[in-house]
């Protein structure tokens, strides 16, 4: 980042598991967590004679994603075989897409409302469909390596989204991943769960160093095994520093050594060179003769585009223009996902005070959701109720603090607004009662009275706290006003 003598250049390959009910080329379930090898059939375990048949739903989800990423969609795409031997690849090849991917040339915009990095358009090189491999599980039993294979995952549809090397820091990379994940959740195409492997990130990284003869690039390294966005951020930061050190020691430039693959060790917080696998050699791609090309009409593309709904970037813009929210607030709301934005919009419309609605949702509502680990759908207070509460606060019927108590009461008990207010003993104090209370306070606090008389208006604040202790229904604004008037008269 800033202050370093180099620029970190990062490109990402993100594998997203598409949310289909069944696998890409057979009718086996894609559900996570089943007992090993129970979700398999002759096709996905590659038995002789079995043939793949494409699951069109996977293409439809991939199409949605590609359109949301502003990609070009060719009218015809095909399947290719990527040949290599590995025990988790039962056919000895992976069905993927090589030279005619189902989409290419899109982009995703990222930005930071706090300005830590400039707004950036990250170009998408291509997004293509492929089948997942199985999972190898290595048990070290009594000193003897014992490997087992679970093929439940084999054949699950993946969309591989490849960016140009447009990212310039670990922070930007994390922002890209966060925005991508948000986009995918808005269009409902993936669970994006890194723990369950439904979102996997590989990064290509090198450094650009200024020199009198132009920019020098260091060798590109591919980083794998990053199991969280945080791990991605840390791995990239580590790798940039490591590459700079290696550059200083060896002076090696791009092209001097073959591309290296390194794995992130989350325990040790370092990247380590991975053993040279035969994978890095020749995959002998060729068109899969068992499958036919996939065709899509302009009408189907238009229909898919129309069905996308409002995407996060557009939604942020609309919240800013329609509700006069600032960029930061719009960002917070939109980043929480579409259901929270819908909640906000209902509250804002009904209480006629978007700014207040935004503040309360960001503070009180989100805190509750986080504490309870629930989503907005499970939140006990419906939008009209919160809107009514905010109207009472806005009109001064309830002060902010009492409003918060009422909200908490409703969250805790699930009661309606009137019941919560009654349960907290909230009634409006009469003018006489308030004046009486204020007189007592002034009598008990001659020092404050003197301070105020000497022009220290802020001394009144201490009286408000005391007033609320004596009677929680004492409205701070009215207490301040009445006390000031009484002191004036004294």
Partner 1 sequence: MSLIELTAAQLRDGLAAGRFSAQEITQSLLERIERVDRSVGAFLRMSPDAALAQAAASDQRRAAGRCLSPLDGIPVALKDVLCTAGEPTTCSSRMLANFVPPYDATVVRKLREAGLVLLGKTNLDEFAMGNSTENAALGTTRNPWDARRVPGGSSGGSAAAVAARMVPWAIGTDTGGSIRQPAAFCGTVGLKPTYGRVSRFGVVAFASSLDQVGPLARTAADAALLLEVIAGPDPQDATSAPVAVEPYSRTVAEPLESLTLGVVREQFGAGLDAEVGAAVERAIGTFQALGGTIREVTLPHSGYGVATYYLIASCEASSNLARYDGAHFGYRTDEAAMGRAVADQQRQQGADAADDDGDSGLLRMYRQTRAEAFGPEVKRRIMLGTYALSAGYYEAYYLKALQVRRLIRQDFDAVFGQVDLLIGPTTPTAAYCAGEKLDDPLAMYQGDLYTATANLAGIAGLSLPCGFTRSGLPIGVQLLAPAFHESRLLRAAHHYQQRTDWHTRTPELS
Angle between helices 170-186 and 327-335 (to 10 degrees): 60
Token code pair at residue 131:
């089948």
Q: What x/- string results for residues 21 through 50 when contact with partner 1 is judged by CB under 8 A?
A: ---------------------x--xxxxxx
Q: Are strands 93-96 and 80-83 parallel, antiparallel or unpaired?
A: antiparallel
24 lines the binding site for Zn ion (CB under 5 A): no
DSSP state letters, 357-406: HHHHIIIIIHHHHHHHT--GGG-SS-HHHHHHHHHHHHHTSS-HHHHHHH
CA quadruple 58, 63, 66, 68: dihedral, nearest 10: -110
- By C-beta, is 38 or 321 nearer to Zn ion? 38
Which among 19-27, 183-191, 196-204, 215-223 is the span making contact with Zn ion, rule CB under 5 A? 19-27
For the chain, state the CA radius of gyration. 30
54 lines the binding site for partner 1 (CB under 8 A): yes
- By C-beta, is 169 or 261 nearer to partner 1? 261
Could you tell me which residues are beta bridge partners of residue 262? Answer: 223, 273
Residue 204: closest CA among 230, 248, 157, 243: 243
41 lines the binding site for Zn ion (CB under 5 A): yes
Note whether 74 and 63 are within 8 A (CB).
Answer: no
Note whether 76 and 263 are within 8 A (CB).
Answer: no
Token code pair at residue 317:
């813009």
- By C-beta, is 275 or 447 nearer to partner 1? 275
44 is in the binding site of which of partner 1, Zn ion, none (Cβ under 5 to 8 A by kind)? Zn ion
Q: Are strands 144-150 and 135-141 parallel, antiparallel or unpaired?
A: antiparallel
Q: Which of residues 424-463 bind partner 1 (CB under 8 A)?
A: none
Site for partner 1 (CB under 8 A): which residue of 4, 31, 51, 396?
51
Site for partner 1 (CB under 8 A): which residue of 115, 143, 275, 490?
275
85 lines the binding site for partner 1 (CB under 8 A): yes
Which among 157-165, 168-176, 253-261, 280-288 is the span making contact with partner 1, rule CB under 8 A? 280-288
Quote the CA–CA distance of 179 and 348 in Å, as a whole number: 25
Quote the CA–CA distance of 24 and 17 in Å, as a whole number: 11
Note whether 301 and 282 are within 8 A (CB).
Answer: no
- By C-beta, is 54 or 435 nearer to partner 1? 54
28 is in the binding site of which of Zn ion, partner 1, none (Cβ under 5 to 8 A by kind)? Zn ion
Rounded to the nearest whole angstrom, what is the least distance from the CB of residue 154 to Zn ion in the complex? 8
406 lines the binding site for Zn ion (CB under 5 A): no
Which among 65-73, 82-90, 229-237, 429-437 is the span making contact with partner 1, rule CB under 8 A? 82-90
- In angstroms, the first-to-last Cα distance of the chain is 63
Q: Which of residues 153-192 bind partner 1 (CB under 8 A)?
A: none
- By C-beta, is 144 or 447 nearer to partner 1? 144
276 lines the binding site for partner 1 (CB under 8 A): yes
290 lines the binding site for partner 1 (CB under 8 A): yes
- By C-beta, is 93 or 186 nearer to partner 1? 93
- By C-beta, is 44 or 357 nearer to Zn ion? 44
Q: For residue 464, what are the contacts with CB-CB under 8 A and spacing of at least 6?
A: 474, 476, 479, 480
Specify the DSSP element, H or E, that contains 193.
none
Chain residues in the site for partner 1 (CB under 8 A):
42, 45-54, 81, 83, 85, 87, 90-93, 145, 149, 275-276, 278, 282, 284, 286, 288-292
């Amino acid at each position: 980042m800033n202050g370093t003598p180099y620029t970190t250049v990062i490109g990402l390959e993100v594998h997203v598991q598409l949310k289909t009910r069944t696998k890409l080329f057979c009718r086996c379930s894609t559900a996570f967590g089943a007992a090993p090898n129970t979700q398999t059939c002759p096709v996905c375990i590659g038995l002789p004679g079995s043939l793949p048949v494409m699951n069109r739903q996977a293409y439809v989800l991939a199409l949605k994603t590609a359109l949301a990423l502003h990609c070009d969609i060719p009218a015809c795409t095909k399947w290719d075989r990527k040949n290599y031997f590995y025990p988790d690849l039962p056919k000895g090849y992976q069905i993927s897409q090589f030279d005619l991917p189902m989409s290419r040339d899109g982009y995703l915009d990222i930005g930071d409302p706090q300005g830590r990095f400039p707004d950036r358009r990250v170009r998408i090189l291509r997004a293509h469909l492929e089948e997942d491999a199985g999972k190898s599980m290595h048990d070290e039993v009594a000193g003897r390596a014992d490997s087992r294979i679970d093929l439940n995952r084999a054949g699950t549809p993946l969309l591989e989204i490849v960016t140009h090397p447009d990212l310039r820091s670990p922070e930007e990379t994390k922002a890209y991943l966060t925005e991508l994940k948000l986009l995918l959740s808005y269009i409902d195409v993936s669970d994006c769960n890194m723990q369950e492997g439904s979102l996997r990130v590989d990064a290509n990284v090198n450094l650009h160093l200024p020199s009198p003869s132009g920019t020098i690039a260091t060798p590109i390294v591919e980083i794998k095994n990053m199991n969280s966005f945080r791990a991605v951020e840390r791995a990239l930061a580590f790798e940039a520093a490591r590459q700079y050190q290696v550059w200083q020691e060896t002076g090696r430039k791009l092209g001097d050594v073959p591309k290296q693959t390194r794995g992130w060790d989350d325990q040790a917080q370092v990247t380590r060179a991975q053993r040279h696998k035969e994978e890095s050699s020749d995959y002998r791609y060729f068109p899969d003769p068992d499958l036919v090309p996939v065709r899509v009409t302009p009408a189907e593309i238009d229909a898919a585009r129309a069905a996308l709904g409002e995407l996060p970037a557009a939604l942020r813009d609309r919240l800013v223009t329609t509700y006069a929210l600032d960029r930061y607030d719009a960002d917070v709301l939109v980043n929480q996902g579409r259901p929270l934005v819908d909640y906000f919009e209902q509250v804002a419309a009904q209480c006629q005070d978007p700014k207040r609605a935004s503040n309360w949702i960001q503070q009180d509502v989100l805190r509750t959701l986080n504490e309870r680990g629930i989503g907005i759908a499970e939140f006990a207070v419906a939008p009209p109720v919160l809107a009514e509460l905010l109207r009472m606060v806005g009109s001064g019927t309830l002060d902010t603090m009492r409003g918060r108590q009422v909200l908490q009461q409703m969250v805790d008990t699930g009661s309606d607004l009137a019941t919560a207010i009654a349960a907290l003993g909230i009634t409006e104090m009469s003018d006489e009662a308030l004046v009486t209370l204020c007189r007592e306070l002034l009598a008990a606090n001659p020092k404050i009275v003197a301070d105020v008389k000497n022009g220290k208006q802020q001394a009144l604040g201490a009286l408000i706290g005391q007033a609320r202790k004596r009677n929680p229904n004492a409205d701070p604004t009215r207490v301040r006003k009445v006390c000031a008037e009484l002191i004036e008269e004294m």
